[in-house]
Amino acid sequence: MQGLEDLYREIILDHYKNPRNSGQLDSPPAHRAEGYNPLCGDEVAVYVANDGDRIVDIKMSGQGCSISRSSASLMTVAVKGKSVAEAREAIRTFKNMMSIHEAALGAEAEDQVGPADLRTLGELAALQGVVKFPVRIKCATLAWNTLSQLLDEIEAGESN
C-alpha cells in the first residue's frame, strides 16, 4: 500500500487520533465559524479568541475523516499565538500547497512551494501527500477555508 503511506503519514494519524485544541470557546467573546463539505457531510467549527491582532486561543470541533480532522488539528497548532497577518500567510501557503497540485499534478509544480515555504509549513508539510489524492483536497482545506472566513469576519467586525 505504497501510495497510502504518503497520505496517511504518522503525523497525520497522530493528529487524527489525538487532536490538538479540540473543543469549543465561549462565543462571544470568542468568534466562531462553521464549514461544511456538502459532498461528504464533514463539518468543522472553528473558534478564535483574539486580543487585537493576536490569536490568543483557537479551538476546533466537528466530525470528519482523518484528513479533515488532522488538517484542522495541525492548523490550530500552526496559528495559535500568531498574529492575524501571520495566520493569513499560513493559510495562503497551505492552500498554495494544495492548489498548485490541484492544477498541475505534475513535477514542475514542486518548485512552486519552495524550501523556505516548506520550512514555514513545519508539520503541515505532512499533508503534502494529500495532493496525490485530489478528491481528498477538499477534506484538507475545509478547516482552513473556515478559518479564513472567520478572520474576515473578525476584521470586518473590528473595523466597524
Partner 1 sequence: MEAMTTQDTTDTLDVARIRADFPIFDRHGEKPLHFLDSAASSQRPIQVLAMMDEYYETTHANVHRGVYGLAERATEQYEDSRVAVGAFVGAPDPSREIIFTKNATESLNLVSNSFARGLFAPGDKVVLTKMEHHANLVPWLMVKDQMGIEIVYIDHDADGYLDLDGLDAKLDGAKLVSLTLCSNVLGTLNPVKEIAARAHDAGALVVADGAQYVPHIATDVQDLGIDMLAFTGHKMLGPTGIGVLWAKAELLERMPPFLGGGDMILDVRLDGYTPNEIPYKFEAGTPPIAEAIGLGAAVKYLSALGMDKVRAHEIALSEYAFRRFEEEFGRDLVVHGPKNPLDRGGVLSFAYRNVHPHDISQVLDQFGVCVRAGHHCAKPLMRTLGVAATARASLYIYNDESDVEGLIEAIAATRSFFG
In contact, 71 and 21? CB cutoff 8 Å = no
In contact, 135 and 35? CB cutoff 8 Å = no
Please list, in sequence order, all residues whose beta carbon lies within 8 angstroms of the beta carbon of residue 26, skipping any fewer than 6 positions away: none
Contact between 63 and partner 1 by CB under 8 A: the answer reads yes
> Looking at 14, 27, 40, 118, which residue binds partner 1 (CB under 8 A)?
40
Taking contact as CB under 8 A, which single stretch among the options 26-34, 35-43, 91-99, 102-110 is the one that binds partner 1?
35-43
Taking contact as CB under 8 A, which single stretch among the options 34-42, 76-84, 89-97, 118-126 is the one that binds partner 1?
34-42
Rule CB under 8 A: which of 1-20 touch partner 1?
A: 1, 3-4, 7-8, 13, 17
H or E element in which residue 96 lies:
helix 84-103
Secondary structure (DSSP) of 56-80: EEEEEEEE--HHHHHHHHHHHHHHT
Length of the chain: 160
Rule CB under 8 A: which of 121-150 touch partner 1?
A: 133, 136, 139
Classify residue 130 by its DSSP letter: G
Contact between 54 and partner 1 by CB under 8 A: the answer reads no
Q: Which is nearer to partner 1, 47 or 62 (CB)?
A: 62
Question: Which residues of the shown chain bind partner 1 in the complex (CB under 8 A)?
Answer: 1, 3-4, 7-8, 13, 17, 39-43, 63-67, 133, 136, 139
